[in-house]
Structure 1
Amino acid sequence: MSGLVVVGVDGSESSSAAVEAAAREAGARGAGLRVVHAFVRPVPYALPRLSPGAASPLGPPPLDVSEDGLRKLAGGLVAEAVGRARATAPDVEVSHAVVTGDPVTVLEAQSRAAELVVVGSRGTGGFVGLLAGSTAVHLVAHGRCPVLVVREQQRADGPVVLGVDGSAAGAPAVDFAFATAERRKAPLVALHAWTTWNAPMPAPQQPSAPYANPPGALAEEEEALLSEALAGYRARYPGVVVEHRVVHGPTREALIDASRSAQLMVVGARGRGGFAGLLLGSASQALLHHAHCPVAVVRGGR
């Protein structure tokens, strides 16, 4: 066994789907699987002081669960997830951990030793609102390995769709997508969307018309950009059938539309359209909220 896949669980249906997806990923990679649950240490609850003769507060006080009680509950959640993982991929070595701390911080720390972190699209408890707020954005922006966000309903067919922008930061996503398509024996759609606003500024053609271009020149340049971004990968992954798809239109809309028929969407964390220094681009954020299939966000540098 080499490598490690980490999955965050909280007992929700979404995290159950993430466990099954993580187990399949670990089996395909020949990696181990670690099931992780995180919880925040409870804050002691104190009844409010009442003046003499005042009525008692309406309703029971908030549930006060001790840390030992939470650990027992967490142990049951993790045991169920471990059983689900072993039923999904019997040959995968499964370990588990119950950690005190903020779930995002815990998963970020776990990502340092992992080759992939898998989470559900929405959950309860520690992972509540995973795609509705800053939690998912923080995890995919700061994690030290690719993050796979899984929904309850997943397609077994359909292509792996790769969003290509031609940036250096997007190169690790290209490799991730090719390797995933090869493991899944799935076709790969390499999609590049462009508009006149996000295309690189061409060199001046004439002094009198510094930004003029011959008809179709920008489209040809964007086709060439996609081919250059994929150069060498066909030789490295000869078994992967690749479709080049260049779309003239907004990137976010094109990727979300392509996700309708995909089994997986793969994107880099930030592309050439973003501001320098940003950790997560608008296209990847939009996919986390609106994609119709699981989304893998791959940061550069790791």
Structure 2
Amino acid sequence: MTSERAGERIVVGVDGSPGGRAALVWALAAGARAGAEVEVVSAVPVNPWSPLDVIDTSRAEHVRADTEARLRASVAEATSDPAVRAVARDGTHPVVVTVVSGSPAEALVARAEGAGLLVVGSRGRGAVRSALLGSVALHCAAHAPCPVVVVHPGAESGTRVVVGVDDSPVAHAALTEAVRHARRLGAAVEAVLVCQPVTYWSDATVPAPPVGETLEAARGRAERIVAAVLGPGPHPDVEATVETGAPGDVLVRRAAGAALLVVGSRSRSRLTGLALGSVALHCVVHASCPVLVVRHGRAHAAAPGPRATSPARG
């Protein structure tokens, strides 16, 4: 389950890009709704051939100080965003800033240890992004020790949370995550089961058994999944729906205009670009709304980690 509970952390990566700002606003709003601490992280790249820490300590400290000042300015600006102000209870936010050295993707995964949620921005969408997302966003979504939200710049805020469901444990965890976020947002949940329709080989010499699942059977299965995860019900804020087609395409289409798309990823592959599985990868790359990825074995957050040492406000 997500960790958006008092006393736990939401980690967000910020790099000065539009996607980074969108991620920061999303994380600050989520933290305000949940009363959770938000740790804002930026990484200072290190040249392995001439590490700043070794060759020029004063220069390294200057870069870190400048980066921290920019982070604080970004937090102050994002805090005044209408999306954050609308949910802030008292105008203050438990926010800390952290500057680390090294690869941004690896740094964010490390800082997310013990956190309940990691939020990262995407630099865009489209077919070419499948390769580029192998950098920060996909690395985090594939390897972080907690659920990860990928936020696209320019994403519109909606009133629905869409989640892909099936009979797997990770999809059950995704539904739990979706309901938790939806209730904090005051949004309804669309639990979408994608099935393959029954087909017949009418031209076969020997009659073959039908392949696939009837829509009626799929609807019954979707309702049973909701009941198994959330209890017998009724659940007026959760609608189980069934569609046919390619799962990734269906979920991206259903999530148009949604506040959040939640997907589970069963894959344990360590290969970059394959670690999320095809459906989760497709959704992260192509969805127009923020995408929350729940990975196999990462559905439950660990205990809160230590606070970062640099408070955003005195």
Normalization by structure 2: what TM-score? 0.74
| CA displacement, residues 253-286 of structure 1 (integer Å, 9 cap, x when unaligned) | 1111112121110101237xx99x9741101101
Question: Is 2:227 the partner of 1:231?
Answer: yes
Aligned residues: 265
Deviation at 1:99, TM superposition (A): 0.4
Q: Name the % identity.
A: 32
Q: Distance in 2 between the 1:130 and 1:74 partners?
A: 29
Give the deviation of 1:301 after TM superposition: 2.3
Q: What secondary structure, in the 3-state scheme, does the structure 2 residue paired with 1:41 have?
A: coil
User: Structure 1, residues 210-238: CA drift from partner, whole Å, max 9, x if none?
Assistant: 7347xx95333322321222115555997
Secondary structure of the structure 1 residue equivalent to 2:99: strand
Matched, 1:241 2:237: yes
Greater gyration radius: 1
Separation in 1 of the partners of 2:284 and 2:254?
14
Residue 243 of structure 1 aligns with an amino acid whose one-letter code is E
List structure 1 runs of 4+ shifted beyond 6 angstroms: 236-239
TM-score of the two chains, using structure 1 as the length reference = 0.77
CA distance in 2, matches of 1:237, 1:10: 44
> Who is 1:59 aligned against?
none
Q: Is 1:193 aligned to residue 194 of structure 2?
A: yes
Q: Which moved more, 1:65-74 or 1:257-266?
A: 65-74
RMSD over aligned Cα atoms: 3.1
SS of residue in 2 equivalent to 1:231: helix
Name stretches of at least 5 consecutive residues in structure 2 with no aligned partner.
1-5, 51-57, 200-205, 299-314
Deviation at residue 119 of structure 1 after TM alignment: 0.9
**Does the CA-based 8 Å contact 2:68-2:97 persist in structure 1?**
no
Aligned to 1:34: 39
Counterparts of 1:62-141 in structure 2 under 5 Å? 66-87=59-80, 88=84, 89=88, 90-122=91-123, 132-135=132-135, 136-141=137-142
CA shift digits 1:51-100 (9 cap, x unpaired)? xxxxxxxxxxxxxx942342133122211122135433433211111001
| 2:209 aligns with one of 205, 208, 211 | 211
Per-residue deviation, 1:11: 1.1
Whether contact under 8 Å (1:121, 1:130) holds in the other structure is no
Q: How far off its partner does 1:294 sit?
A: 0.8
Unaligned segments of structure 1, at least 5 residues: 46-64, 124-128, 200-207
Question: Whole-Å Cα distance in 2 between the matches of residues 97 and 146 of structure 1?
Answer: 20
Q: State the Cα distance separating 1:161 from its structure 2 match.
A: 0.5
What letter is aligned with 1:292?
A: S
Structure 1 Cα separation of the partners of residues 94 and 131 of structure 2: 29
